[in-house]
């Protein structure tokens, strides 16, 4: 079993790395971190995986949330005007939701794209 301190340190390093790499793309830090945390929560409900796959899925969750959480927040505020009182929290909630769902959505989207390209 890994030491709790080393696991916490590695999670903190990974969160910092994802945040800094996301800044190169111009995405918002809070959405990246919300997606990262959502990806970690999602791992609780997935079967055991190798460490490299875990890192990849959590990073993908963070990046998907970073790119699409502002879009979800803008759409939600446009179509549901009563959410205007929520403000920026909508972006965080969307990022966390995308982080949780990304580990299921990304494989589903990839299967769909393969079926469209392959003509199956």
Q: Summarize pLDDT for 47-103 with one digit per residue, the tens.
A: 888 888 888 888 888 889 989 999 999 999 899 988 888 878 888 999 999 999 998
Please, which pLDDT band fits residue 10 given cuts at 50, 70 and 90? low
Rounded distance between C-alpha atoms, residue 119 and residue 78, angstroms: 36
Quote the CA–CA distance of 53 and 107 in Å, as a whole number.
13
Average pLDDT, the chain: 81
Per-residue pLDDT, 68: 92
Residues near 46 by beta carbon (within 8 Å), at least 6 away in sequence:
57, 103
For the whole model, what pTM was predicted? 0.75
| Least confident stretch, 13-27, 32-46, 71-85, 103-117 | 13-27
Cα 71–Cα 57–Cα 37 angle in degrees, nearest 5: 65
pLDDT over 70 at 12, yes or no: no
56 Cβ partners below 8 Å, 6+ apart?
none
Residue 5: HSE in the Cβ half-sphere, 13 Å Cα cutoff: 0
List of residues 6+ apart from 1 with CB closer than 8 A = none
């Amino acid at each position: 079993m890994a030491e709790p301190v080393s696991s916490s340190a590695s999670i903190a390093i990974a969160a910092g790395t994802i945040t800094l790499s996301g800044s190169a793309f111009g995405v918002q830090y809070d959405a990246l971190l919300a997606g990262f945390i959502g990806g970690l929560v999602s791992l609780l409900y997935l079967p055991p995986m190798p460490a490299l796959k875990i890192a990849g899925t959590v990073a993908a969750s963070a990046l998907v949330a970073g790119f699409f959480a502002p879009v979800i927040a803008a759409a939600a505020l446009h179509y549901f005007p009563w959410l205007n009182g929520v403000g920026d929290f909508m972006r965080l909630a969307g990022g966390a939701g995308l982080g949780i769902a990304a580990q299921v959505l990304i494989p589903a989207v990839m299967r769909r794209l393969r079926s469209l390209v392959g003509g199956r």
